[in-house]
Amino acid sequence: MDDSTKLAFGTKIKTMLGNELIVARWLAEGGQGDIYIIKYNEQFMALKWYKPKGLGKDPQAFYDNLKNNAKHGAPSEEFLWPLDVTEWMNGSFGYVMELRPPGYSELSDFMLTEVRFPSFRKITDAALHIVSAYRILHNQGYSYQDLNDGNFFINPNTGKVLICDNDNVAPNGMETGIAGKPRYMAPEIVLGKNMPNSLSDRFSMSVILFILFCLNHPLEGKKSLVPCLSPELQEKLYGSEATFIMDPSNRENGPHPEIHKNTTVVWPYLPDYMQDLFLTAFSQKALHNPNARPSELEWLKKLVRFRSEIVPCECGNEIFTENGKNCNCERCREKMQVPYRIRFRDYAIPGIADSRIYRCQLGICNTDEALKPVGHVIAKKSDKRALGLKNLSNQVWSVELASGKTRKVAPQEIMPLRDGMSVHLYNEVIKIEANE
**Contacting other proteins within 281-320 (CB under 8 A):** 310, 317-320
Q: Is residue 10 classed as helix, strand or coil in its secondary structure?
A: coil
In DSSP notation, 318-377 reads: EEE-GGG--EE-TTT--EE---EEEE-SS-EEEE-TT-EEEGGGSSS--GGGTT-EEEEE
Query: Shortest approach of other proteins to residue 108 CB, angstroms?
Result: 4
Query: Shortest approach of other proteins to residue 308 CB, angstroms?
Result: 14
Residues 185 and 234: beta-carbon distance below 8 Å: no
Query: Shortest approach of other proteins to residue 210 CB, angstroms?
Result: 11
Residues 324 and 343: beta-carbon distance below 8 Å: yes
Out of 331, 380, 407, 408, the residue judged to bind other proteins by CB under 8 A: 331
Residues 131 and 102: beta-carbon distance below 8 Å: no
Whichever of 257 and 404 has its CB closer to other proteins, that residue is 257
Query: Shortest approach of other proteins to residue 1 CB, angstroms?
Result: 7
Whichever of 116 and 408 has its CB closer to other proteins, that residue is 116
Whichever of 120 and 397 has its CB closer to other proteins, that residue is 120
Residues 189 and 290: beta-carbon distance below 8 Å: no
Of the candidates 1, 71, 46, which has an alpha carbon nearest to the alpha carbon of residue 165? 46
Interface pattern 67-106 for other proteins (x via CB under 8 A): ---------------------------------------x
Amino acid at 417: L
Pairing of strands 406-409, 373-379: unpaired
Does 120 participate in binding other proteins (rule CB under 8 A)?
yes
Query: Shortest approach of other proteins to residue 415 CB, angstroms?
Result: 30
Whichever of 211 and 246 has its CB closer to other proteins, that residue is 211
Whichever of 40 and 79 has its CB closer to other proteins, that residue is 79
Does 272 participate in binding other proteins (rule CB under 8 A)?
no
CA distance 417 to 435: 12
Whichever of 21 and 319 has its CB closer to other proteins, that residue is 319
Out of 11, 68, 119, 140, the residue judged to bind other proteins by CB under 8 A: 119
Query: Shortest approach of other proteins to residue 336 CB, angstroms?
Result: 10
Does 178 participate in binding other proteins (rule CB under 8 A)?
yes
Query: Shortest approach of other proteins to residue 269 CB, angstroms?
Result: 6
Contacts of 390 (CB under 8 A, 6+ apart): 375, 376, 377, 378, 412, 413, 414
Q: Is residue 189 classed as helix, strand or coil in its secondary structure?
A: helix
Residues 192 and 180: beta-carbon distance below 8 Å: no
Please work out the total of residues on this chain that contact other proteins, with binding judged by CB under 8 A. Answer: 73
Interface pattern 183-222 for other proteins (x via CB under 8 A): x-x---xxxx------------------x---xxx--x--
Whichever of 143 and 216 has its CB closer to other proteins, that residue is 216
Could you say which residues in the range 138-177 bind other proteins, by CB under 8 A? 146, 148-150, 177
Whichever of 14 and 53 has its CB closer to other proteins, that residue is 53
Whichever of 162 and 399 has its CB closer to other proteins, that residue is 162
Whichever of 131 and 310 has its CB closer to other proteins, that residue is 310
Query: Shortest approach of other proteins to residue 212 CB, angstroms?
Result: 11
Residues 152 and 207: beta-carbon distance below 8 Å: no
Count of residues making up the chain: 436
Of the candidates 191, 362, 399, which has an alpha carbon nearest to the alpha carbon of residue 289? 191
CA distance 191 to 68: 31
Residue 168 gets which letter from DSSP?
A: G
Whichever of 179 and 378 has its CB closer to other proteins, that residue is 179
Query: Shortest approach of other proteins to residue 169 CB, angstroms?
Result: 13
Query: Shortest approach of other proteins to residue 209 CB, angstroms?
Result: 14
CA distance 325 to 217: 33
Does 2 participate in binding other proteins (rule CB under 8 A)?
yes
Q: Is residue 45 classed as helix, strand or coil in its secondary structure?
A: strand
Residues 131 and 300: beta-carbon distance below 8 Å: yes
CA distance 84 to 19: 9
Interface pattern 376-405 for other proteins (x via CB under 8 A): ------------------------------
What is the signed CA dihedral for 262, 267, 269, 272, rounded to 10 degrees?
170
